[in-house]
Amino acid sequence: MLLESSYGAIWRLTRAGIHVVPVTGRPAGWCDHIARMWPVAGVVGENGAFYYAYDRANRRMTRRQPAAAEAPSDRDRLARIAARVLREVPGTALAADQPFRVSDFAIDCCEDVPALPPEKLDEICRILADEGVRFKVSSIHVNFWLGDFDKLSGVLLFLAEQARSSLEELKEKTLFIGDSPNDEPLFAGFAHSIAVGNLRRFLPRITHLPEFIAESEAATGFCEAAATILEKRGAV
């Protein structure tokens, strides 16, 4: 659930002149809504498979999907792998948002099923590694896909095309806030990064750590980070 406090924090950042770009593992269907309806500059979805940006003045959506696995054979292969995971790891399920995805599959490990213990997460990862697909563990899903992309490559594409700039050029003007192991490429790629408190339970799975970890978890941690940013800018 998107809490009122989280949505309000995004509005406060935007009103302070800060461009907010959600970078998420959530599906294309959700991202179309986010780009249109949230006060954001755009959204990078499905772990970097695409970005959407909505030009409100001209009522025009930009959808960039250069890395998505769209061939029917690719989708069939991913579906077979998903079926194997569900068969071999009891307690898993396809993510409820799977019908709205265009490039990856998501195994539910916490959202609508009881949270899986670490050993079952490890078993899912072992199967996906054995199948030769790329995968990332989030706080609720294990996502896997075909194609050479991740969240960082999606951000780089967004910046190149929408900001006409690079992460290196903007390194002192950009900050990433993350919450799970699938954010590691961004913790590694950004000069400045914050994680919300629930990242602490995933630290054994992460090599590249954020600069800071908030005291609070999840949405409250995001609000804590946003408040700190606004305070530093004198925009509170």
pLDDT tens by residue, 178-204: 999 999 999 999 999 999 999 999 999
Ranges in the chain annotated CATH 3.40.50.1000: 4-66+149-232
**Which residues does the chain have with pLDDT short of 50?**
none
Q: Are 113 and 92 in contact (CB under 8 A)?
A: yes
- Give the per-residue pLDDT at 236: 60
Residue with structure tokens 């919300």? 196
Kindly state the tokens that stand for 63. Answer: 């959808």
- Give the per-residue pLDDT at 194: 98
The DSSP bridge pattern shows strands 212-213 and 50-55 to be unpaired
Angle, helix 4-15 to helix 218-232, in steps of 10 degrees? 20
Ranges in the chain annotated CATH 3.90.1070.10: 72-145
Q: What's at 140, amino acid-wise?
A: I
| Whole-number Å distance between alpha carbons of 227 and 209 | 22
| Whole-number Å distance between alpha carbons of 37 and 129 | 37
Q: Residue 90 burial (CB < 10 Å; 0-12/13-18/19+)? A: exposed
| Whole-number Å distance between alpha carbons of 202 and 18 | 29
Identify the CATH assignment for 72-145 out of 3.30.1950.10, 3.20.20.10, 3.90.1070.10, 3.20.20.140: 3.90.1070.10
71: how many CB neighbours lie within 10 A of its CB? Answer: 10
Q: What's at 186, amino acid-wise?
A: L
Kindly state the tokens that stand for 69. Answer: 């696995």
CATH class belonging to 4-66+149-232: alpha beta
Q: What sign for the dihedral angle of Cα 61, 229, 200, 215?
A: negative
- Give the per-residue pLDDT at 73: 75
For the chain, give the number of residues. 236
Kindly state the tokens that stand for 212. Answer: 């800071």
Contacts of 138 (CB under 8 A, 6+ apart): 25, 180, 181, 182
